Structure 1
């Protein structure tokens, strides 16, 4: 880190500390207001990304169902929220309920800053079979994904047709054949591989996702197992594609956004990308005809396919003075109706397996993606690992 970056990092830490001190009142979460209501705080980056008033409306529903509890929203951009939580974890002033990224969980859990949700579930006789996924550290759950943004395969219908490919590929051989055919048919690349070291999530979303799609794992007993047959075969598969020249140029400097722009402009035939970009692609190029399908699996694999995802996760502060009330908010947000509403607002898929977001009835592509989501399982083995970022 350069001297200048150290200065900026120090300034950010000071700013984050100020946010925590003003937002948390120096304690482990909220307090009691003049009317005797317990005030709990929910810190997250979600509100700025949702329609105006949407998250507040959901909190109003919670307050109506839970007299005597009020919720204060502490909202900010993703990076600012992380800085606030890092400082709160160090000072014991973390808000009662926190929005979490899976990459943060291990550090917070090891610091004792976030509560053991497995213990809270047991204490409250909570049925965790309703949860689509959980993020664990040392065998205990510390984060539950509230909504998930999954990464399916996008395919350009016209480029596939011009290359003589009748349907989106469903296995690795079909994908490799389609990528070669698209590349040979014209000016577009078969696929893209954003592997810039500035944003190392590329190896997660673009490479390991194919391992998970075939039911594989890069871990053994919770530890890295990066030389097992599944990982090795996945890496060799992409090396073969790279040697065949089917990737868009600049793979090792390309970022995810660059890949999306190339696909949107018809210069890439297939890509693995987040559904969060679906609306942007449609708005940027209304004439683009494309399809969504499950990630191709190993030839002959017929089991459930892991689906890479990013999520808005939920956790509870270990230092909260109102852990009982915090648990009630957690339980509300993960309930069937409230979780469906949150997912609908976010245009994401719910963390409760029984929840159905309303947009799947009105959007054919999203309906197809939801079917893929329900047929598989959320898979991201980086969540919960040390220094996962």
Structure 2
């Protein structure tokens, strides 16, 4: 099976609080058309700040030109703030017409009845969904379409590693731990590896912890059920605990969110980071002088199998509370069209959600091509996609993981506790 086919199969089976409140208060999902029959719809997402300035707005301008009776109001902010806004809007019934989605949120939103059934919208709008690379479904209905897909490689600060005497990015766990320890030994505010574990945005468990399991062909599941006490998960947690005890991990992990991780790396304070390709633009923009490279996640020493590559999607959905679902779906259809999806995946340094779209490598950052090579050499891996209450599962694991790192319990006890709480959710 090709990587692309496997990627589709894996997925298919499967911003601050004040700002959030003000954004919710301004929601127009129930706004009527004006006297000229024009409507305004909102699109809440974290994508615009992570793209080159003005490029996403240019796509929206093109949509409005093609659909003169529809105005799109962009509600943009960091990932964590968007999440806060959407969860608050879901609870209040005031979610924006069109929403950017993380696959980990879909189960919760669908169960709350806050997302429209896209399968029904496909039928209502005579939309051919055969060109969609993947769809996130629950009980046979689609609630999220991955617009673009990102791999999460390892980022290395080349100057810091060189200063610490590390001549090349690490390829296995031993090399990674040694490199992180050497960078931390440089002193000052420099650390080897940055690990965000905030329980408010616990996706660090997915992207920065379980990725070590998947990189060596391991799994946190067995026949679709939790299997957190197996040797693969145990080995990964013991490994990270060792790095924590060595002082190789940046301080403040327990309260750090994804954007904090990116800021630490961008400012040159950490040597190594596991992160989305989506942030390459942001890093280049905020620190043009930073010399960094990307590579595949290190695997267990001696592992020669296919490496799992963490991935995430910029997903899109339509609010069930929107009174303009037809217009909202037109925007979804526009973003998933062959031409626009090609443009969006190119500017995002990601892989397209339309099977007929292709990113343009000609003017892309060289790291984009390198990431595609990493992707082709491995297999996409994210076992949280499609799981029930996946966000809560991350948070439950995070709680036990923090206790383990703090020394309040053993690795074995922490994994057993997480296994018990996960099993209750299944």
> Structure 1 length normalisation: TM-score?
0.73
Q: Distance in 1 between matches of 2:251 and 2:192?
A: 11
Cα distance change of structure 1 residues 45 and 285 upon mapping to structure 2, 3 Å threshold: closer
Other structure's SS at 2:129 match: coil
Deviation string for 1:99-143 (max 9, x for gaps)? 223343222201222233456568744225x42x54344564321
Correspondence list, 1:69-88, <5 A: 70-77=70-77, 85=86
Cα distance change of structure 1 residues 294 and 99 upon mapping to structure 2, 3 Å threshold: same
Other structure's SS at 1:155 match: strand
Q: Distance in 2 between matches of 1:95 and 1:254?
A: 27
Cα distance change of structure 1 residues 59 and 275 upon mapping to structure 2, 3 Å threshold: closer
Correspondence list, 1:15-164, <5 A: 18-20=25-27, 23-25=28-30, 31=33, 39=39, 41-46=41-46, 49=49, 54-62=55-63, 70-77=70-77, 85=86, 89=90, 94-118=95-119, 124-127=127-130, 130-131=132-133, 133-138=134-139, 140-161=141-162
Q: Could you list the runs of 5+ residues in structure 2 that have no partner in the other structure?
A: 1-15, 393-426
Q: Distance in 2 between matches of 1:80 and 1:282?
A: 22
Contact 2:43 2:99 in 1 (8 A): yes
Q: Distance in 1 between matches of 2:361 and 2:348?
A: 10
Residue of structure 2 in register with 1:4 after alignment: none
Other structure's SS at 2:293 match: strand
Correspondence list, 1:172-321, <5 A: 172-180=173-181, 182=183, 186-187=186-187, 189-197=191-199, 199-220=201-222, 223-249=225-251, 251-252=253-254, 256=258, 259-260=261-262, 263-264=265-266, 267-282=269-284, 286-298=288-300, 299-309=302-312, 311-318=313-320
Deviation string for 1:353-387 (max 9, x for gaps)? 55344466342223322433455555444455427
> Structure 2 length normalisation: TM-score?
0.68
How far off is 1:207 after superposition? Answer: 0.8
Cα distance change of structure 1 residues 253 and 331 upon mapping to structure 2, 3 Å threshold: closer
Q: Distance in 1 between matches of 2:287 and 2:60?
A: 36
Aligned residues: 369
Contact 1:47 1:75 in 2 (8 A): no
Cα distance change of structure 1 residues 97 and 230 upon mapping to structure 2, 3 Å threshold: same
How far off is 1:193 after superposition? Answer: 2.9
Q: Distance in 2 between matches of 1:53 and 1:268?
A: 30
What RMSD over aligned residues (CA atoms) do the two structures have, in Å?
A: 4.2
